[in-house]
């Protein structure tokens, strides 16, 4: 296939139907959530600096510019941020870690079994167990809670996502034929609101192997994040 043809197709599609194609990892990925306090921009899950721990991080409300927009950005008390964990590869959440703002703090529940799972999993109620909490950080006051073997953070952070989105738009628009090297990080200098939790792997049942064909012997969890609004 000739590249010129490929570009023509991409360009045409880009303008016609994919106008926000690949704007970022998940920032403003769909009309209904774009610009709302429920808009997830990114989700990370990795082994902590202590290899006995997992770290889950969810970012919401992307593209905050420094200064007032970042300082005035707030979490919403009606938006539940929920980390989902499936340990038996049926794609249904077996455990959730829930986070929601009350007053000046973020309250965390779990990991615990959710009230609803699978096809019912679009719906949630908050666990009745005692929460852990952390005061929500500001741009100048960084708060970390270390409670019950877990660590908690909520507040503004530099957006860890990096991508030459402007050049991608130029490619889609047909005014460029490819990326530059080096490119220019469109997300440089912008912030997000982050929720980060680190917890011992021992809080989870063992995962199962055979999930990832590129690591067939490694037990793998399926994990994802959701935002849910109080009805």
Cβ atoms of 111 and 85 within 8 Å: the answer is yes
Structure tokens at 63: 């593209």
Nearer of residues 174 and 207 to another protein, judged by Cβ: 207
- Give the shortest CB-106-to-another protein separation in angstroms: 9
Of 182-201, binders to another protein (CB under 8 A) are 182-185, 187-191, 194, 196, 198, 201
Structure tokens at 180: 């530059």
Collapsed DSSP state (helix, strand, coil) of residue 205: coil
In 10 A of CB 80, how many CB atoms? Answer: 21
Of 203-222, binders to another protein (CB under 8 A) are 204, 206-207, 211-215, 218-222
Question: Can you tell me the distance from the alpha carbon of 66 to that of 25, in angstroms, rounded to the nearest whole number?
Answer: 20
- Per CB under 8 A, the list member of 4, 68, 72, 181 interacting with another protein is 181
Question: Can you tell me the distance from the alpha carbon of 44 to that of 46, in angstroms, rounded to the nearest whole number?
Answer: 7
Question: Can you tell me the distance from the alpha carbon of 84 to that of 195, in angstroms, rounded to the nearest whole number?
Answer: 14
Collapsed DSSP state (helix, strand, coil) of residue 35: coil
- Give the shortest CB-24-to-another protein separation in angstroms: 7
- Give the shortest CB-144-to-another protein separation in angstroms: 6
- Per CB under 8 A, the list member of 11, 42, 63, 99 interacting with another protein is 42
In 10 A of CB 65, how many CB atoms? Answer: 10
Nearer of residues 39 and 75 to another protein, judged by Cβ: 39
Nearer of residues 18 and 173 to another protein, judged by Cβ: 18
Taking Cα atoms as reference points, which of 148, 100, 90, 146 lies closest to residue 121?
90
Structure tokens at 206: 């063992």
Structure tokens at 37: 């306090």
Asked if 35 is part of the footprint of another protein (rule: CB under 8 A), the reply reads no
Of 115-174, binders to another protein (CB under 8 A) are 118-119, 121-126, 131, 133-135, 139, 141-145, 151, 153, 156-158, 160-164, 167-168, 171
Of 52-111, binders to another protein (CB under 8 A) are 54-55, 57-58, 64, 66, 70, 79-80, 82, 86, 90-92, 100, 102-105, 107, 109
- Give the shortest CB-54-to-another protein separation in angstroms: 7
Of 2-31, binders to another protein (CB under 8 A) are 3, 5-6, 9-10, 13, 17-18, 20-27, 29-31
Sign of the CA dihedral 42, 193, 33, 96?
positive
Question: Can you tell me the distance from the alpha carbon of 117 to that of 96, in angstroms, rounded to the nearest whole number?
Answer: 10
Nearer of residues 111 and 191 to another protein, judged by Cβ: 191
């Amino acid at each position: 296939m000739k590249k010129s043809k490929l570009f023509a197709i991409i360009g045409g599609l880009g303008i016609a139907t994919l106008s926000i194609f690949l704007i970022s990892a998940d920032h403003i990925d769909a009309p209904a959530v774009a610009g709302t306090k429920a808009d997830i921009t990114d989700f990370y899950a990795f082994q902590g600096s202590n290899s006995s721990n997992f770290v889950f991080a969810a970012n919401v409300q992307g593209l905050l510019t420094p200064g007032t927009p970042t300082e005035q950005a707030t979490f919403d008390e009606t938006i539940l941020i929920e980390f989902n964990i499936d340990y038996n590869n049926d794609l249904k959440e077996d455990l959730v870690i829930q986070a929601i703002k009350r007053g000046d703090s973020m309250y965390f529940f779990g990991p615990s079994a959710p009230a609803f799972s699978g096809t019912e999993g679009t719906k949630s109620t908050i666990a009745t167990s005692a929460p852990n909490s952390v005061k929500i950080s500001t741009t100048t006051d960084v708060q970390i809670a270390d409670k019950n073997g877990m660590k908690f953070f909520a507040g503004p952070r530099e957006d860890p996502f990096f991508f030459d989105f402007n050049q991608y738009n130029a490619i889609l628009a047909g005014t460029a034929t490819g990326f530059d090297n080096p490119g220019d990080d469109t997300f440089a200098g912008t912030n997000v609101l982050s929720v980060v939790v680190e917890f011992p792997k021992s809080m989870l049942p063992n995962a199962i192997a055979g999930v990832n064909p590129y690591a067939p012997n490694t037990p793998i969890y399926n994990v994802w994040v959701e935002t849910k609004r109080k009805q």
